[in-house]
Amino acid sequence: MEKKNNCHRFKNKICLVTGSSMGIGLAIATRFGEEGATVIISSRNKANLEKAEDSLEALGIKYDSFICNINDKVERVKMLNKIKEKYGRLDVLVCNVAVSVYFGPTIETTEKVYDKTFDTNVKNTFFTIQDSLELLKVSKNSKILILSSWSGYFPSPLIGIYSVTKTALIALARILAQELAHHGIRVNCMAPGVVKTKLASALVDTEYATSNFMGRYAMPEEMGGAAAFLCSDDSSYITGETVTLNGGQHGRF
């Protein structure tokens, strides 16, 4: 099977996408690869990672892969050290790992669920960026993309704590963009609405997923195009911004 995209914005680029064995992460990695990148995918699930490898191979995409629980600092640093040894740098880092482990009234959220959601969605994202900074600085023109959510602007009571973590990521992107600009690193954020993925499976067939101008939910591949724009030099004067992808629904406070 041939690659679909003939654009070469990521030729000779090294792009790490975390949580990329399926869904939005794999769609972003695929788009980068179609545009010439060597994509590095990671997941803690070996079987899912192997399926992703098969998908990339079928498209003729250059890739590397790591079984890695990105929430575990030891595993995360071990992966980054291997990337350093093999490639010496990172041109793009996409922080995509997230969980939503509770669906119900926010006030009934348990401490265990609260901690897991914040640790995975916010703490993990911050420290993945911090641990990757040495490799990103080598590039002199690197990009970081954080995956937030439209619920970060308009939280849903049924996914309340998840929504709060996604609001935090919008703020994180803005402050890191300011702090890292002098290193030549741009930091942006994407806030998708409901995308047909395993994570959003409980929302896909609800009114929440279609209450936008276009009247439908999104497919993972539609996230890949926006990510490619934000992580390429086509967006060279954009940093600290959050792009909402929700079929026309407003995404500002």
- Residues recognised as catalytic: 162
Please give the distance of CA 168 from its chain centroid, rounded to a whole number. Answer: 15
- Angle formed at CA 61 by CA 228 and CA 183, multiple of 5 degrees: 40
Q: How far apart are CA 231 and CA 204, in angstroms?
A: 27
80 and 132 in contact (C-beta within 8 Å)? yes
Long-range contacts of 101-105 (CB under 8 A, 24+ apart): 102/159, 102/161, 102/162, 103/158, 103/159, 103/202, 104/158, 105/157, 105/158, 105/160
